[in-house]
A and B are shown apart, each in its own frame.
Chain A
Amino acid sequence: MPWTRFTQTKSEYLGGGLREKVFPCSAVSREIRMIRLSRSAAMVTLAVFFVPAWLSAQESQLPKGYIGSESCAACHDEVNTSFQKNPHNKLTTTKWRGMQERACESCHGPGAKHAETNEAGDILNPAKMAAGAADKMCLSCHRNSRTNVGAIQNGHARSAVSCTSCHTVHKTGQESSDVQFRTAAGVNKKCASCHTNVWASFQKPHRHRVPEGAMACTNCHNPHGSILARNIRTANAAEPGCFACHSDKRGPFVFEHAPVRTEPCSTCHEPHGSANPRMLTRHQVANQCLECHSNIVSPTPAGIAGGVPPALHDMRQPKYRNCTMCHQKVHGSNVNRGLLR
């Protein structure tokens, strides 16, 4: 009989992990087996009776002032039903934000007082909060997203247009902003409801295909903020978003047209719509060019480029007023310094 059969470690005996002392088995084995069985049974009993009770006690241990989503649902049943399909419902189960079982109160704040008084003023309503406070609350979770990195430069944030101005939280189906914003028409409708002047520009004959629903405002703008002015999106990392589609204008070119790099595209084009073909800011291309290529060398105090190439042509001839017939590569050329081809 191997010697080990007659030994039990203390750690085994005590349920621990350390081998500390050796006991002879033969004399006490029966008693030990009995004790071990009894202990296991006791543990099972404890688990069956007390653990669920302990867990439920833990669940009900909400922070002071909180009542939990189930209590909210008792009165706001309709909201609660629609909320089940809402992405925010994830808060109910996830430990990530520490708001398990109180998803409602993650936005509306502690609800105990409201439950007691039934007064609307005793609970937070993000739709009616000051924009700064509403944003702070939404951003406490959503700050951590790549679309919100430019939030601080965002014109919406500066003008106190809060998240809840565009995003609905409780609505579901076709009424939900999440569903609406998946289509260009849905996005455009929302933007146009405030930016009516921009939407009016899109009714002009020469425009991007936004009213037709082929493009959304968000193709060019990030409403949450961008590193570029006017919330313009970036493309290919650091380039203005225009180059995402107009990649032939991106360059680099052997001969750059410097203003394409230093000035925004809107210097020459009205991207939202224009009465002028090619969305130009001038009715004739000659005016567009001659305003800079003015043949006037500005004095230094003007602080502007003095060496802009002059327009040497005879402007009485129509063909010379048609600048882009010869200077075809106005965005930059790889062949000719005069941007001819």
Chain B
Amino acid sequence: MTLRNLVLMMMPLALVAAQEQKPAAEAKKEEAKKEESAPAGEKTWSGWVEAGARWRSDVAGSMDAYRSIVNLTGGFRLPSMDVSYQGAHKLLKTMRLTSGNWGDPFNTARLELSDEKYYRYASRYSNLLYYNFLPSFANPAAPAGYSLRSYDMNMRNFDHELTLLPNERFTPYLRVTRNWAGGRGITPLVVQGNEYALRTDLDWRQQDVVGGVRMNFTRSHLTIEHGSTDFGDGQRIFNTEPMRGSRGNVPVLGQLLSLTNGNQLYDVDGSSRITKVLFTAHPYDWVDLYGQVLYANPKTFSNFNQALAGSLYSTAPGLLFYSSGKDTVYGDARRPHTTGSFGMELRPVSRLRVREYYETDRQKTDTAGAFEAAFLKNTELAATIRNSYVDRLETSVHRQTVEALYDFSRKFTLRGGYRYEWGNALIRAGSLSITGPQERLEMQRHIGLAGFVARPWQKLTLNGSAEVSNGVKTYYRTSLQDYYRMKLNGRYEIRQDLLMTVVYNRMENKNPASGVDLEFKSQNTSVGLQYMPGGGKWVTVIADYNRSAIQSDIGYLILFPYQQAQSLYRDIAHTGMLLADITLPGSGVFKPKLTFGGSYVTTDGSRPSRFYQPHGKLSLPLHRNVHVFSEWRTYGYNQPSIFSYETFRTNMVMTGVRFVL
């Protein structure tokens, strides 16, 4: 038999074998394909959309306080949405869109698209209305007296990040972040001897464009990121009618003051380069290395123009009454800012971990500016002031920490360590004079660290930590000096369906140096219970109580009239929170759900206040895919003290439908 014949004989056998192999391989491929596209039993679209309408009762009390604290309004709303898509499209395997509180003054949305073989895209959006008109914190004479800055503006953030996944070693990404805030408000225009509350238009914005690449190696990782920031801050203050200002009809040297025309334009533009280098490494099983360097060099160019007309006076060029004035200021500031850290974890034996890390933060601000003020009587120039200045601010902070963690057993870990913090700063000090001296400050603290984690039995976990500082030098009177801080967390599973958590924090900071005499204490105790019989299938109750107390004493000197004074601050807050979730009896999916709870906060001390926000919600399934719900909320705030004019109370009801996909 020739070789050829032998081969020809074996061919059919090979073909049969190949046929036998083929269906198995194909079936496997098809199965994988099916799984990839839509896992068995999983819908392509899933999630829900909630829509409804809210009715709000009239706000009893201060509408400004209500808008500053709660600010919910009535009307059509999209309270929440969470829609997911899982499919087999060539470039879109998963999509998720979530959003919350559409129609309310603070709403958010998030969109994620991905195909884990090629890319991942996430986009976030938030829009928060910021309304603040609560003058009491600054002006003891409010509301009869004069007010201060107030705001009615929107703050919007957009964030987009696209990550490409070409392979597992290199992951390039691009991120664009845009932050914008704009709106209006009131700003007091302060002119010598008088203040005028003027309308303000505000507009600030910032945009970051950053690209980077993550490099993954078997035992290390490196991320390099570079990009730029552009930002601007614009503010315009203006009046539309003649004003007497806070002085009213009280004359200055026999002359009434007024403002007939005021315009202030404040424009700041800036840019910055951003660089980040991050790395981690695991060269051996007993050592991990971490490091990062972050660098930015923001620069700003500012331009300020003010034009005033009316009956005004100034003492700056000597006592002068003038009818119009113009100020022009140019400024230039730059601040290179470098932050870095390097750390390692060593595991010389299996139970011991030694961590050592160093952090540094350095920034230097160099600035220059020029100022010109012109005072006119009618149309004639009466006086001019010109000035130019340069300034510098330097700060650097460093921290070196070494810490050891030892596992005595699987149930008990003890840690201890030492941290040394030091830094210095160069600041302009001494007086309000532009040419005042510069002062070099130093900061030095030695801090002892300790902590433990105990799990004496599986149902109980205790976690404690403490740090004690011996401050040698510090920057400011109220800064941390000789302090200790301790924290204790406990979790105890009383029964399988009942969990208790306890948190206790305490901190004291003292600076006994003569002329300072700072004493600060804060304490926080929190107890929480979580009851979930049957894994929370029917009932879930979460209840928390918290007591926090702050006490701060520090002396100061009042020059006019000359007297010693003490700044005492006391704040004792009790907070109760409850969340109950009850599934009522029903058949199949038609089980109504009742949710109720809320919180009550009462504070005593320097600013007594009560704030409560109870709520309840009933959800009724009408169909597998349609649920109706009705929600009730009450908000109440009062300050039983001199600030009682800043109180409010309101009720609201919302009814809507949840469509389940």
Chain B facing A: main interface SS:
strand
CB contact between B39 and one of A85, A259, A278, A304 (< 8 Å): that residue: A85
Contact residues of B between 341 and 376, Cβ < 8 Å to A: 341, 343-345, 353, 355, 357, 359, 361, 363, 365, 367-369, 371
Report how many A-B pairs have Cβ atoms within 8 Å: 477
Chain A residue with the shortest CB-CB distance to B502: A196
Query: Count the A residues whose beta carbon is within 8 Å of the partner chain — how many?
Result: 135
User: Contact between B403 and A158 (Cβ–Cβ < 8 Å)?
Assistant: yes
List residues of chain B with CB within 8 A of the CB of A295: 556-559
- B280 near A143 with CB under 8 A, answer yes
CB contacts (< 8 Å) of A291 on chain B: these are: 477-478, 554, 556, 567
Q: Are B367's CB and A238's CB within 8 A?
A: no
Also in contact, A248 and B204, with CB within 8 A (given A238-B294, A303-B473, A334-B329): yes
Q: How far is the CB of A127 from chain B (nearest CB, A)?
A: 11
In the complex with contacts A144-B280, A308-B429, A337-B432, A251-B335 CB distance below 8 A: yes
Contacts A287-B569, A335-B331 given; indicate if A312 touches B559 (C-beta within 8 A).
yes
Q: Are A324 and B148 in contact (CB under 8 A)?
A: yes
Residue of A nearest to B518 (CB): A291
Q: Does A152 count as interface, using CB distance less than 8 angstroms?
A: yes
Asked if B101 and A259 sit within 8 Å, CB to CB, the answer is: no
Partner of B190, one of A150, A159, A182, A341: A341
Q: Is the CB of A261 within 8 A of B39?
A: no
Could you tell me if A238 and B339 are in contact, using CB atoms closer than 8 angstroms?
A: yes
Chain A min CB distance to B217 (Å)? 8
Cβ–Cβ < 8 Å partners of B282 in chain A: 140, 143
Identity of the chain A residue whose Cβ is nearest the Cβ of B341 in the assembled complex: A227
Taken together as a complex, chains A and B put the C-alpha atoms of A294 and B137 apart, in Å, by 19
Chain A residues within an 8 Å CB radius of B577 = 199-200, 203
Q: Is the CB of A197 within 8 A of B524?
A: yes
Identify which of B52-60, B126-134, B254-262, B314-322 touches chain A: B126-134
Cβ of A32 within 8 Å of any chain B Cβ, yes or no, is no
A271 at interface by CB-CB < 8 Å: no
A305 touches B429 (CB 8 A): yes
Q: Is the CB of A307 within 8 A of B429?
A: yes
Contact of A316 among B264, B332, B436, B561 (CB under 8 A): B561
- The contact string, 1 if C-beta is below 8 Å from chain B, for chain A 101-136, is 000000000000000000000000000111110000
Distance (whole angstroms) from the CB of B616 to the closest CB of chain A: 16
Which of B17, B98, B365, B413 meets A183, CB within 8 Å? B98
A277 to B42, CA, bound (A): 49
B159-186, CB < 8 A from A: 168, 177, 179, 181
Instruction: Please report the C-alpha to C-alpha distance between residue A195 and residue B544 in the assembled complex, in whole angstroms.
Output: 11
Cβ-defined contact, A322 with B148, below 8 A: yes
- The residue from B357, B365, B514, B601 contacting A299, defined by CB atoms under 8 A apart: B514
Please tell me if the beta carbons of B7 and A42 are within 8 angstroms of each other in the complex: yes
CB of B101 within 8 A of CB of A214, answer yes
A106 to chain B, nearest CB (A): 15
Closest to A225 in B: B290
- Name the residue among A41, A152, A338 with the largest chain B CB count within 10 angstroms: A152
**Distance of A213 Cα from B110 Cα, bound (Å):** 12
Q: Are A236 and B560 in contact (CB under 8 A)?
A: no
CB-CB under 8 A from B132, the residues of chain A are 277-278
Contact in complex: A252, B300 (CB < 8 Å): yes
Partner of A48, one of B18, B168, B434, B516: B18
Whether the pair B607, A283 counts as a contact (CB closer than 8 A) is yes
Which residue among A130, A253, A275 has the maximum number of chain B CB atoms within 10 Å of its CB?
A275
CA distance A285 to B463 in the complex (A): 37
The 8 Å CB contact of A200, one of B275, B430, B546, is: B546
Q: Please report the C-alpha to C-alpha distance between residue A74 and residue B497 in the assembled complex, in whole angstroms.
A: 31
Q: Are A239 and B155 in contact (CB under 8 A)?
A: no
In angstroms, how far is the closest chain A Cβ from the Cβ of B634?
A: 14
| A136-178 with Cβ < 8 A to chain B | 139-140, 143-146, 148-153, 158-161
Interface size of B by CB at 8 A reads: 197
Instruction: Determine if B575 and A200 form an interchain contact, defined as CB atoms under 8 angstroms apart.
Output: yes
Contact residues of A between 165 and 217, Cβ < 8 Å to B: 182-185, 193-197, 199-201, 203-206, 209, 212-215
Let me know if A24 is at the binding interface, CB within 8 A.
no
In the assembled complex, the CB of B606 is this many whole angstroms from the nearest CB of chain A, namely: 4
Q: B290 — nearest CB in chain A belongs to which residue?
A: A152
Task: Indicate which residue in A38, A197, A301, A324 contacts B138 across the interface (CB closer than 8 Å).
Answer: A324
Please encode chain A, from 249 to 265, with 1 for each CB lying within 8 Å of some chain B CB and 0 for all others: 01111111011011100
Complex interface residues of chain B between 614 and 636 (CB less than 8 A to chain A): none
Closest Cβ neighbor of B547 among chain A residues: A200
Query: A205-B609, A259-B476, A277-B68 given as contacts; is B407 within 8 A of A236 (CB)?
Result: no
**Contact of B403 with A254 in the complex, beta carbons under 8 Å:** no
Question: Is A296 in the interface zone, CB < 8 Å from B?
Answer: yes
Those of A45-77 within 8 Å (CB) of chain B = 45, 48-49, 52
With A197-B546, A199-B544, A325-B139 as contacts: A150 and B611 at CB distance below 8 Å: no
Q: What is the 8 Å Cβ interface bit string for chain B, positions 9-24, against chain A (1 contact, 0 not)?
A: 0110010011001000
The distance in angstroms between the C-alpha atoms of A52 and B132, with both chains bound, is: 73
B96 at the interface (CB under 8 A from A): yes
Chain B residue numbers with a CB within 8 Å of A319 are: 139, 141, 145-146, 195, 246
Q: Is the CB of A34 within 8 A of B4?
A: yes
**CB closest residue in chain A, given B3:** A38
Interface residues in B449-492 (C-beta closer than 8 Å to A): 451, 453, 458, 463, 465, 471-479, 489
Query: Are A302's CB and B425's CB within 8 A?
Result: no
> Using Cβ atoms and an 8 Å threshold, which residues of chain B touch A325?
138-139, 146, 148-149, 188, 190, 195
7 new A-B contacts, CB < 8 A, other than A38-B4, A323-B138, A341-B304, are A203-B575, A252-B298, A276-B607, A284-B140, A284-B606, A319-B146, A335-B329
- Residues in chain A within 8 A of chain B (CB atoms): 34-35, 37-38, 41-42, 44-45, 48-49, 52, 84-85, 87, 90, 94, 96, 128-132, 139-140, 143-146, 148-153, 158-161, 182-185, 193-197, 199-201, 203-206, 209, 212-215, 227, 234, 236-239, 244-245, 247-248, 250-256, 258-259, 261-263, 267, 275-278, 280-287, 290-299, 301-316, 318-319, 321-326, 328, 334-335, 337-338, 340-341
Q: List 21 A-B contacts (CB under 8 A).
A: A37-B4, A87-B116, A149-B292, A151-B290, A152-B355, A183-B100, A205-B609, A214-B106, A214-B107, A227-B292, A238-B361, A247-B231, A255-B391, A256-B393, A295-B557, A298-B477, A305-B439, A310-B559, A325-B195, A326-B195, A328-B188
